[in-house]
Amino acid sequence: MARAQVTDLVVVLPGILGSRLADAAGRAVWDLSGPALLRGLRGFTASAGALRLPKDTGDGDPGDGVVPVGLMPDLHALPGIWHPVDGYTDLLRWLERHFTLSVSDNLLTFPYDWRLSCRHGAERLKGRIDLELERWRASAPERRDARVVFLGHGMGGLVARHYVERLGGHEVTRRVITLGTPHRGSLLALSDLVDGGGRRDPEVGAFARSLPSLHQLAPDDACMEGPGGLARVRDLPGLPGVDEALLADAARFHTDLRSSPPRADLYAIAGTGQPTASTARYAEDRLALVSEGDGDGTVPLPAGAGPVAGSWAVYEQHGSLQNNRAVREALRGLLVEEAALPAEAGHLADPAPADPAPADPAPADPAARLGVRVPAVLPAGLPYEVTVTAPDDARLLMAELRPADGGRPVARPLRSLGGGRYAAAFPPPEPGAYRLSVGPVTALSLIRRSAL
């Protein structure tokens, strides 16, 4: 199949934890993915103190010599800071295979120091785009009017938006595409600040609480139960684990984005159908979930991006949105300037497993709507329990747990519990990183969830 023509510069921005970091000597300080993940996490405590940011970092650079050196290629996670996320290698290969894009030419990856403020990342992005777009436009006459298309996963979407909407990037931008970006924040980030990493590992907890970025991912809407009803986190002083100055600055960051007029077309793709924290309360020294809503398991719906040119909801977990087949079908239209774009928001469902290079992808099955609940981190010796919601009880569903190191997978049929609920349990897995796939017996790949 011929590759679709793309004359623009396409820039991929990962989410939090999605950029590899190295120190001034070139030694890796964050590069834990795939088979090395568990081993590296056990030793991360020794690095956490050195990576902690001073309180006065603000939007600046801490001067510790840490630099971003690339995107995470495979499954990565840091318990206490966000949930497991698949890497970006497969996405980049797909883009090169289906479009006239090359990572050495007009397909750019933008790793950034995910510890720092989104404003800092956006300033670095501006410098990179100034250089790369001039190079690309000068490389051929037909490219002299080329613009930039941003593809940002999670926090990467916030970095791109700040550049476009606050730093003049709209002048060279064709569109911004976000995947699972927490435009109004996520209770997961607040949970990690309050009692996530700190209860398991004090060093990781202190590191997490020093990060402007994690505070900028905390919810910016009224989602906390307070004496007068639902309140914003910033209006509940004294909440342990959060830096009130960083939280106030995060509120200004989101206010600035909301108050900026639309300057470039924004297309928001989000996950749906997955149980996602929507409100919480702080009680008995814990941040307790009060209710669950719709979302990708990490970022709730509605995403709150403000005025958008188009939005789609895909039945997928946050960590695998960039590798979801239905998302990629949407990208086919969004990356090609001449392609007709859907006129309104809609729901997409991931169909049968994608072939590495499908010649004619099958249309999405709108009935394939599965919600998956599994533990992000499982203590050793406990069974791995999976619960699934579906539109009805008349389904034959299978769950497959596959080691991230490519080991032999284990499959289990899901039993119906009635009311569209299904469940399965795996024997206690060996310590390590795993991927879970859930789907029909004949098409096992509808929902992917990375887990430890």
In whole angstroms, give the CA distance from residue 198 to residue 241.
Answer: 8
More confident residue, 362 or 245: 245
Q: Which CATH architecture has domain 9-335?
A: 3-Layer(aba) Sandwich (3.40)
* Share of residues in the chain with pLDDT > 70 (%): 88
pLDDT of 451 strictly over 60: no
pLDDT of 432 strictly over 70: yes
Which of the four pLDDT bands, split at 50, 70 and 90, describes residue 343?
very low
Res 140: pLDDT = 96
Q: Which of 125-129, 238-242, 394-398 has the highest mean pLDDT?
A: 125-129
Contact between 92 and 70 (Cβ < 8 Å):
no
Which of the four pLDDT bands, split at 50, 70 and 90, describes residue 82?
confident
In whole angstroms, give the CA distance from residue 448 to residue 387.
Answer: 13
Q: Which of 112-116, 259-263, 351-355, 406-410 has the highest mean pLDDT?
A: 112-116
Res 394: pLDDT = 87
Strands 397-403 and 410-413 turn out to be: antiparallel
Which of the four pLDDT bands, split at 50, 70 and 90, describes residue 345?
very low
Segment 20-50, tens digit of pLDDT:
999 999 988 898 776 677 777 777 877 788 8
As a three-state string, the secondary structure of the chain is CCCECCCCEEEEECCCCCEEEECCCCCEEECCCHHHHHHHHHHCHHHHHHHCCCCCCCCCCCCCCCEEEEECCCCEEECCEEEEECCCHHHHHHHHHHECCCCCCCEEECCCCCCCCHHHHHHHHHHHHHHHHHHHHHCCHHHCCCCEEEEEECHHHHHHHHHHHHCCHHHHEEEEEEECCCCCCCHHHHHHHHHHHHHHCHHHHHHHHCCHHHHHCCCCCCCEEECCEEECHHHCCCCCCCCHHHHHHHHHHHHHHHHCCCCCEEEEEEEECECEEEEEEEECCEEEEEEEECEECCCECCCCCCCCCEEEEEECCHHHHHHCHHHHHHHHHHHCCCCCCCCCCEEECCCCCCCCCCCCCCCCCCCCCCEEECCCCCCCCCCEEEEEECCCCCCCEEEEEEECCCCCCEEEECEEEECCEEEEEECCCCCCCEEEEEEECCCCCCEEEEEC
Res 189: pLDDT = 93
Is this structure's pTM higher than 0.85? yes
Q: Which of 219-223, 282-286, 356-360, 368-372 has the highest mean pLDDT?
A: 219-223
pLDDT of 337 strictly over 70: no
CATH topology of domain 371-448: Immunoglobulin-like (2.60.40)
> How much is the mean pLDDT over the chain?
87
pLDDT of 360 strictly over 50: no
The residue extents of the domains of the chain are 9-335, 371-448
Contact between 151 and 267 (Cβ < 8 Å):
no
Segment 54-76, tens digit of pLDDT:
999 999 999 999 999 999 998 88
**Residue 127 CB neighbours (<10 A):** 9
In whole angstroms, give the CA distance from residue 43 to residue 3.
Answer: 44
Res 304: pLDDT = 66
Write the CB contacts of 364 (distance below 8 Å, at least 6 apart in sequence): 326, 329, 348, 349, 350, 351
Segment 110-157, tens digit of pLDDT:
999 999 999 999 999 999 999 999 999 999 999 999 999 999 999 999
Q: Which of 199-203, 223-227, 440-444 has the highest mean pLDDT?
A: 223-227
More confident residue, 303 or 431: 431
pLDDT of 445 strictly over 90: no
pLDDT of 363 strictly over 70: no
Q: What is the mean pLDDT of residues 312-319?
A: 93
Res 282: pLDDT = 87
Q: Which amino acid is at 300?
A: P
Res 262: pLDDT = 80
pLDDT of 348 strictly over 70: no
